[in-house]
Chain A
């Protein structure tokens, strides 16, 4: 158990819909990262937040957005969903102030868009 909690574990929805994925980082971790893993693209970094502020942006589509709340949990919002958005979405957290070289990943949220 990494200590990172993601909900929901599975989600099935239709094209054009909007979903929200939630992540609770490990206690004390200030950084949250979102990754997408699909069969053809592998693990892709989407976005990182540190203590509520956006820190780095990767290959995140404009239809996707994220935020980190004062209690440090984070949400990834996916809108106008397309079939190609079907993937595993992972959240990870780390203690950025003291870099131990380690990101802790959750078990992922599997999104299926029909």
Chain B
């Protein structure tokens, strides 16, 4: 699977937007971009995924660069409950689709 690079940590203030970046310069045309998060003492939780176009769901938005070499997860209004480790993961569409987790970004939300 292609590699992703994320900042180790980020901070945000409560109720402000958060932009979590991910670089994936070796992404291939058939790789999907997935985001998961892991809250303290819980299993990972799906956030969003996309291929080429920007995506929105109830949790977040995913902005994908035109060349697909980077993407940004956007939390529109951070809450204390959004404090978690966020993982950006590439999945080849033809694979068994197991997730390969990197070290992720630890998001701290300040009240």
Chain A contacts to B: CB under 8 angstroms: 2, 4, 31, 33, 35, 42-45, 48, 50, 55-56, 58, 90, 92, 94, 96, 99, 101-108
Contacts and interface: CB of A to CB of B under 8 A. Distances in A.
A110 to B, nearest CB: 9
B101 A106 contact: no
Interface in B1-42: 32, 34, 36, 38, 42
Contacts of A42: 101-103
Contacts of A106: 43
A90 B43 contact: yes
Interface residues of B, number: 22
A43 B97 contact: no
Contacts, number: 57
A102 B43 contact: no
Contact of B100 (A2, A4, A45, A96): A45
B98 A45 contact: yes
A107 B96 contact: no
Contacts of A44: 101
A90 B44 contact: yes
Contact of B96 (A35, A56, A102, A104): A56
